[in-house]
Every structure is written in C-alpha cells, then in structure tokens.
Amino acid sequence: MAKFILFPKNFLWGAATSAYQVEGGNINNDWYFWGNEKKTPSRCAKAVDSYNRFEEDFDLAGQLGHNAQRISLEWSRIEPQENQFNQEEIEHYRKVLLSLKARGIKAVLTLHHFTNPLWFYSDGCWLNPRSVSRFAEYVNRVSKEFYGLADYWITINEPLVYVYNSYLRGAWPPGEKSISKVLAVIANMARAHLSAYKIIHNNCQNVSVSIAKHIRIFSPCQGLGLGLNALSAYLRNQVFNYRLLEFLAKKKSLDFIGVNYYGRDFVKFSSKDFFGRDCYCSRHQLRRNSLGWYVFPEGLLKILMRLKKFNLPLMITENGTSEKEDYLYEKYLRQHLFYLARALGQGVDIIGYLWWSLIDNFEWDKGFGAKFGLIGVDRDLNRSIKPFALAYKDICLNNKLEYA
C-alpha cells in the first residue's frame, strides 16, 4: 500500500518567476544592455511575453491547483529615470497583482531579481553608496502602491548569487572580477535590505518580509588533498550560505526565510582561490541534470534542519531542475518534497513550496536552453502543461504526497 504524508493546513503551493525572465520587452535595464553586447547566447527580447499574457499564465497556475505565485517587479519599468516613476507601469503591475488575487492565488512579491535600471547601472550600480537610498525610494513607492496586494515581500533575490556572477565570475553585468567590489556590493545590498524591511513595514500592515537566499550543499571532493578541499567547502558554506542570513536575523529584519535550493557542489582546493573550484571528477556518483548540476534531494532536509536555529518560518521560494525527460522532473519534485516533509516531521516550520519555474523562460547567461517550467512554450509562444505539472497538481490539490 502506498504511504503518504499530509502537509499543514494553508500550506502555500505554487511556482516562481521573475519579471525579466518571462515578461519580454524590457529595454531599459542592464541585462538588455548585456544582451546587446552579445554577452548571452541569445537575447531575451520577447522572453515568453508574460507581460501581455500574464492572465493566461495565471489561469494555468490556477488550473494546476496553485494557491501561491512568486513574481517580481521590473524596477526599470517602474522608475525608468531616477525619481521619475511611470504610473502606467505601476498600473500594469497592479493589474497583475489583482489578477492573482481574483484567482485566489497569494502573491509572493520580489522587488529586485538580478536586473537594474540603466540609470542605476550606469552610475556605479550597487557599488555606489547611493544605491541604498535609491533602492529605498523605489521600495517606498511600490510598497505604498501595492499595499494589500501581497502578503509576502522579498526585497532582494539571492544577493550572493548576484554578486558572485556579476562581481566575481564576471559572467553577468557589469562583468567585474574583484573581491573588494564583491564586499562593497554585499554591504550595500545588506543595507538596502535593512532599510527596505523598515519601509515595507511602515507602509503595509500584516505582511512578512524577507530575502530569497540561495543555499547549496558544498561537499569536499574525497580525492587528493581532502583536508584542504574540506577547508574550501567549509568556507563556501559559511560565506555563501549563512553569513548574510545570520547578520540580517541579528538585525531582526527577517520575518521568514525564503530558501532557494537546487543541489550540491563538490569542491576542490585551488591555490588560486580560497573558495576552491567546482569539481566534477568521476568520484561523485550523483546524477546531474541537463545543466550538469548535481541533484541531491537529501540536501534539502540538511539545509532545513540547519535553518531551524533561526526560529523563523521557512518558505521554499525556489526549487527545480532542467531535464531532458519528463519523468526526471517528477522524480526530482517528489524526492525534494519527501525530504521537505521529513523536515516538517522534525518540527521545522515550513509554510510553502514554490517550484522554479511556472513557465520555461530566459535563463540569464544560458539563454533559452534551460527548461525549468511546469508549462512549456513553443516557438509561437503557445503554452502547454507538461506531464509532471499534473503530478504536482495532485499534490497541491490534495495537500498530500504519496510515496512508495
């Protein structure tokens, strides 16, 4: 007989997207500029045209039994020039949020998901100390405008991933590779979150505010130099996974923790880099997804148990994969939910689970090759529900996971 696990009442079930990755037509931010410089395999251009088709997308989310949807606002639409707000775009996002509400889907609203308005980008971006007050102005405006339309607010998505790709790896705009800049940007983003947290609470009642924190499992490669490999893995774990959360929690600026979890990295020491380098040697027997990422469902349990000490509700604000075959998505989904349920069983307060992503979309420096969506999109941008999304639907509607 199949066994099953029931999830808590009012558990949030849904998916996540970000504005630039799905909307299309964004021509006033750093990623548009980056695409024009041919630094991505393809331009984002129309993306999947969700700017115009959001009703259709949310209809599908509703049909899939979702009661929550994470979206982001595109700052460059709302404030195309410093201190000049575009009311038409604000009204557009009001419609987007109202259309979720009309479908009984709770909005989880992200204010910064990797993209920056060009005016902000060209004037030092997050290195400029004024970035903090600039972000605050934007947050002040949107939290007044969208009062009552979102229960959960995420100020900044994955600050460390942003900083790693944009200021250390040089793969995202502005393409920098500098440790001192990394530190300056993290400090400004942390300050920006602290002030945004206060502003949102001043302007809105009964909302929960957080960041979405990407957390990975870092394991030392068991090969040569195990001790040093372990040291690099430990450093990554401290610096990349937990330092910022500890700082923000100490400042009492998190009402819950948004957790983005994808998998595991193996780390090999490198004399050129404190944090070592990723290792893909044949010792590691774990399955890899179509992007080459190691799939490690138990890692979700480990992370959730570690986060328990914060004594804050946790929401999985992203978890997902890109695969070549449908059954692998379903397997990934079920295995991760199984470990999430184990964490619930051990007393971790988890309030929701959002799959990345609702729909296939633009995957940053990888272009359109990655397919994370519950909904597929063809060349004419017609939508179709993927088979594994129906398995997820069953789980969402019954609030229950069956397993063998």
Interacting residues toward ligand BGC by CB under 6 A: 18, 21, 157-158, 161, 214, 260, 318, 356, 363, 372
The label of the residue with tokens 């633009």 reads: 362
Q: Which is nearer to ligand BGC, 170 or 223 (CB)?
A: 170
Report the distance separating Cα 359 and Cα 376, nearest Å.
6
CB of 362 to ligand BGC, least distance (A): 8
Report the distance separating Cα 139 and Cα 125, nearest Å.
16
Q: Which is nearer to ligand BGC, 181 or 214 (CB)?
A: 214
CB of 399 to ligand BGC, least distance (A): 26
Q: Which is nearer to ligand BGC, 128 or 290 (CB)?
A: 290
CB of 215 to ligand BGC, least distance (A): 11
Report the distance separating Cα 395 and Cα 327, nearest Å.
16
Q: Which is nearer to ligand BGC, 372 or 392 (CB)?
A: 372
Report the distance separating Cα 280 and Cα 277, nearest Å.
10
Q: Which is nearer to ligand BGC, 15 or 401 (CB)?
A: 15
Report the distance separating Cα 259 and Cα 215, nearest Å.
7
Report the distance separating Cα 67 and Cα 101, nearest Å.
10
Q: Which is nearer to ligand BGC, 114 or 197 (CB)?
A: 114
Sign of CA dihedral 395, 398, 403, 404: negative
CB of 115 to ligand BGC, least distance (A): 10
Q: Whose CA is closest to 352, among 313, 316, 307, 319?
A: 316
Q: Which is nearer to ligand BGC, 135 or 355 (CB)?
A: 355
Element (H, E) at 211: strand 208-214
Element (H, E) at 57: helix 50-63
CB of 264 to ligand BGC, least distance (A): 15
Report the distance separating Cα 33 and Cα 74, nearest Å.
15
Q: How far is CA 14 from CA 8, 19, 57, 60, in A?
A: 15, 17, 12, 11
Q: Whose CA is closest to 70, among 24, 114, 4, 16?
A: 16
CB of 80 to ligand BGC, least distance (A): 22
CB of 110 to ligand BGC, least distance (A): 9
Q: Which is nearer to ligand BGC, 140 or 290 (CB)?
A: 290
Q: Which is nearer to ligand BGC, 20 or 256 (CB)?
A: 20
CB of 9 to ligand BGC, least distance (A): 29
Q: Whose CA is closest to 157, among 125, 111, 190, 199?
A: 111
> Per-residue DSSP letters for 126-187?
GGSTTHHHHHHHHHHHHHHHTTTT-SEEEEEE-HHHHHIIIIIS--STT----HHHHHHHHH
Q: Which is nearer to ligand BGC, 160 or 267 (CB)?
A: 160
| 217-220, strands of its sheet edge to edge | 217-220, 264-270, 273-278
Maximum distance among all alpha carbons in the chain?
62
